[in-house]
């Protein structure tokens, strides 16, 4: 969410009515999230000036660890230097820390491509935004889920119950520090996740939604504490259920 919002912001800056705007003091502390959107807190160090040049050799974009040769345009300006400076700073301050860690495994190669392409400045802001929107579409639609054996058949469903909230085993990247609360596309994906975690014996797909509209599923190691709830369904591993427990 942070990276996509940042890319949308940089897209606007690259195509603003004033021209391409560069953030000269590009640091994480210069940004804040407001209602799910990233905002710049200080525009004092923004500039629409692009580096003047006489030849291509005048247009090297230098960073502490990398340098990029750019073209000198017929108008005597280094082509795209403001856009590229913003994008590489987004890569080194945001993308490298946030993109690789919390996506479903099937989407990580797509995010890896974005990371590599922006790190080498092979993508401009237009291509970067398009790539992010593709990943978001795959994520929201569930199209990233590969065809696999159905896991939900390994569970019995108890309609009209939910699990008592409380501290349980932890997982990454959980939306709760008390237990394992993950975003899922469906109960089938939740069943696949539960099967992949040795501690998991049951789960419930909650009514809570993330910013993408996906529901959150709560995974637990014990299905014993059940509370009546007409709108809920508890899924319990068949291997974990017994007549005494139910």
Does 164 lie in the same domain as 123? no
From the list 151, 78, 155, 142, the residue with the least C-alpha distance to 107 is 142
CB contact at 8 A, 56 and 70? yes
Does 215 lie in the same domain as 182? yes
Indicate which residues carry an active-site annotation: 25
Q: How far apart are CA 8 and CA 94, in angstroms?
A: 14
pLDDT at 231: 83
Instruction: Answer whether residue 42 shows pLDDT above 60.
Output: yes
Q: Look at residues 101, 127, 144 and tell me which one is the last residue of a structural domain.
A: 144
Does 164 lie in the same domain as 140? no
* Predicted confidence (pLDDT) per residue in 131-186, tens digit: 999 999 999 998 988 777 788 899 999 898 888 777 889 998 889 888 899 999 99
In which band, very low, low, confident or very high, does the pLDDT at 241 lie, cut at 50, 70 and 90? Answer: low
pLDDT at 238: 85
pTM exceeds 0.75, yes or no: yes
Q: Look at residues 113, 144, 175 and tell me which one is the last residue of a structural domain.
A: 144
Does 139 lie in the same domain as 182? no
Q: HSE-up of 37 (CA within 13 Å, CB side)?
A: 6
Helices (H), 108-228: 108-119, 125-141, 187-196
Instruction: Answer whether residue 109 shows pLDDT above 80.
Output: yes
The domain in which residue 224 lies consists of 152-242
Does 119 lie in the same domain as 17? yes
Does 29 lie in the same domain as 140? yes
Q: Look at residues 144, 170, 192 and tell me which one is the last residue of a structural domain.
A: 144
């Amino acid at each position: 969410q942070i990276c996509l919002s940042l890319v949308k912001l940089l897209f606007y800056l690259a195509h603003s009515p004033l021209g391409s705007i560069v953030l000269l003091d590009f640091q994480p502390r210069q940004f804040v999230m407001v209602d799910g959107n990233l905002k710049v807190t200080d525009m004092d160090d923004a500039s629409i000036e692009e580096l003047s040049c006489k030849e291509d050799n005048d247009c090297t974009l230098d960073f502490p660890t990398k340098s990029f040769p750019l073209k000198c345009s017929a108008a005597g300006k280094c082509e795209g230097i403001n856009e590229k400076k913003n994008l590489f700073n987004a890569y080194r301050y945001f993308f490298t820390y946030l993109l690789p860690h919390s996506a479903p495994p099937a989407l990580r190669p797509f995010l890896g491509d974005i990371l590599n392409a922006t790190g080498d400045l092979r993508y401009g802001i237009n291509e970067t935004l398009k790539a992010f929107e593709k990943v978001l579409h795959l994520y929201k639609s569930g199209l990233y889920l590969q065809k696999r054996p159905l896991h939900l058949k390994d569970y019995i469903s108890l309609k009209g119950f939910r699990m008592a909230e409380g501290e349980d085993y932890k997982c990454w990247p959980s939306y709760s520090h008390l237990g394992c609360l993950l975003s899922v596309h469906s109960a089938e994906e939740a069943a696949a996740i539960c099967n992949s975690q040795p501690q998991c014996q049951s789960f419930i797909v909650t009514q809570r939604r993330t910013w993408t509209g996906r529901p959150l599923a709560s995974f637990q190691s014990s299905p014993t504490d059940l509370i009546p709830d007409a709108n809920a369904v508890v899924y319990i591993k068949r291997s974990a259920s017994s007549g005494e427990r139910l």
